Amino acid sequence: MPRVNVSWIITVLAVELATLSAAHAHSCHEVKTAFQVRQIGQLKWVPETPATDVDLSICKHPGPSCCTRRMEESYRAAVLRDTTQNIRSYSFELKYLISTHAVAFQDTFQSLITFSQNHLTSLFETTYSSLMSAISPHIVCLFTDLSRFLQGTGNVSVETAVHCFFDSLFPLVHTRIVNPGMAGSISEDSSDANQLGDCLRMTRQDVNPFGSHPKAMADALASALRAGRVLSLALGVGLEVMNITETAELSRECTRALVRMHYCSHCRGLTLIRACSGYCLNVMRGCLASLSELHNPWRQYVTVLQDLTHIVAGAHNLELALLGIRGQVEEAILYAQLHGPRLTATVDKVCGHSSNASSTTVRTFSPSSVTSPPANSSQDVPGADKIGMLAHLHREFTGYISRYKSFFSILPETLCEGEMGVDELTCWSGDDVVQSYNARVVGNGVHAQRQNPEVRVRGVDPLLMDVKNKLELFNVEIQEVMPGVGHRESWDETGSGEISGECDDEDGCEGSGESVESPTPTEGDVSKNAVKVSKASFFIIILALGLHWPLI
């Protein structure tokens, strides 16, 4: 078998490659093709052959170039368009997650409101039909106020709404249930009836005809609905943050760096080579420095969301409070019936009308004849099949939102994923084709960009700093009204977005001359794949008024 002259074959291949390279060096055909495919601009702006006397401001180099000044401007517009679109694409997934959950939460709540309202209405239709026509508007008013409170619309108080309902219920119960003959003896439109009704409404809390049931109902609803209101508000804050960050603009220095990274290689006919991983991280971390400053407050905000959803759904407080309204009202009416004689005597002294009604008949009840409503438990409350709806809804949400805790710090790496020269022998460094990127890779945040060799960051973006301050303020407000919420994990850990600007290996930083690998997020934070995948009862006491995002 003849021996193979390996050195001769290598020499021949080298000559052929050199010949092909020389042929391509005198043509800008591949550059023109890329220019067309990426919809960068008009093809007539791309020269047929490279020139050496081109006036370029970004992609300068001593050799021949397939670029012109007009092409540079088109490249600048293209990187602005594509980078902004990519950022919004990744942001949309998070924004969509929050917005859809906010809508689902409101829809589920409204379903519970409708069911509870209908269930209370049926109590009067079947058991206390003589009260139905008069009490119906007050039932509608009660549930409308409860709905408005959770949505944060209008100056509505849960306690006021509940007590207003019982104030309106008292005259009807006293004249038609406890003293059924009184309604026939006093015309509803007479001045005596109006005076009696006004007196009963105004003195209801002093007379206490319904025992402890109005207060118990108000306390349960206020506790559960206030937690739901804060959660609804928190979801709105998240949407506001995402809407504003989507409008953040890329600086002129960032745009020039993006042109160098994406298209300066095209000027030399290299349309397929990709950016070095460390180089891309420097460019994107420089471009998104101000956005990365949102990392710490956003991370805590996500934990706030998780805690709030657990409070609202963990013990089914909201469902039990709403579904228990009928039982509380029924118990309140039975309490008034059971204490009819005492109640009538008290009303006679306070309002002076009951004894004047000649046909008044006081109906008395013995304790043994009164059947108490079922206990307030998830098995006995009417509509028990609806209990757990919020828990299921929130469980899915907390599972997804936890993956986005580090969204703003991992975004530069996510955007670089498609540009990195992974498993390739060479990559683009912004100036030339290299085997590895030798410059230092900086960390996240504005302060860290002082050492960024690729992008000059002149300062923080005022718009994004305003968002950061508002997000921090919201987290502080939550702590003031709900101590402990948002602190399920330690906040002593350092992370991207910190002001110190120090860079360590977890930030993807290495010493000069060494290759850089991208950081790997942990603890369920946003990863490249995650980004792509689209109990207590308590009272909230407001300590600060007039804040940017009012809590109640």
Task: Report the Cα–Cα distance between both ends of the chain, in Å, rounded.
Answer: 91
The answer to whether residue 62 is domain-embedded is no
DSSP-based three-state secondary structure for 65? strand
Residues of the chain with pLDDT under 70: 1-26, 183-192, 353-385, 418-424, 488-552
pLDDT of residue 500: 36
Q: What is the DSSP string of 224-254?
A: HHHHHHHHHHHHHHHHHHHHHHHTPPPPHHH
In a domain, 167, yes or no: yes
Q: Is residue 239 part of a domain?
A: no
Cross-strand partners of 427:
434
Number of structural domains the chain divides into: 1
Neighbours of 297 (CB within 10 A): 22
409 bridge partner residues = none
Residues with Cβ within 8 Å of 495's Cβ and at least 6 positions away in sequence, in order, are 295, 296, 299, 406, 409
Q: Which of 381, 364, 427 is nearest to 178 (CA)?
A: 364
The DSSP symbol for 7 reads H
Instruction: Give the angle subtended at the CA of 318 by the CAs of 316 and 323, to the nearest 5°.
Output: 95
Question: Crossing angle, helix 277-287 and helix 252-262, to 10 degrees?
Answer: 160
Q: Which residues face 65 on adjacent strands? A: 51
User: How many whole angstroms separate alpha carbon 142 and alpha carbon 131?
Assistant: 16
- pTM of the predicted protein model: 0.75
Give 490-535 pLDDT, tens digit per residue: 433 433 333 333 344 334 443 333 333 334 334 434 344 444 333 3
Instruction: Tell me if 210 is assigned to some domain.
Output: yes
For residue 429, give the 3-state DSSP assignment: coil
Cβ–Cβ under 8 Å, residues 331 and 372? yes
Q: What is the token pair recorded at 8?
A: 């001769």
Greatest alpha-carbon pair distance for the chain in Å reads: 133
pLDDT for position 406: 94
DSSP assignment letter at 500? T
Q: DSSP of 137-206, one letter per residue?
A: HHHHHHHHHHHHHHHT-SS--HHHHHHHHHHHHHHHHIIIIISTTHHHHS-TTSHHHHHHHHHHHHHHHH
Instruction: Give 311's Cβ-side CA count (13 Å radius).
Output: 27
Residue 399: per-residue pLDDT: 87
Alpha helices, DSSP H only, in 405-461?
Answer: 407-416
**Residues facing 90 on adjacent strands:** none
Above pLDDT 90, what percent of the chain? 54
Name the one residue in this structure whose structure tokens are 């602005």: 80
Domain assignment present for residue 367? The answer is: yes
Phi, psi of 208 (to 5 degrees): 55, 60
Q: Is residue 10 part of a domain?
A: no
* CA 109/CA 152 separation, integer angstroms: 13
Q: What is the pLDDT of residue 432?
A: 92
* Within a domain: 449: no
Q: Please give the structure tokens belonging to residue 283.
A: 């460019």
Residue 471: CB atoms within 10 Å: 21
- Range(s) of the domain holding residue 122: 97-227+316-391
**434 within a domain of the structure (yes/no):** no
- H or E element that contains 277: helix 277-287
If we measure between CA atoms, which residue out of 39, 43, 47 comes closest to residue 67? 47
Could you give the 3-state DSSP secondary structure of residue 344? helix
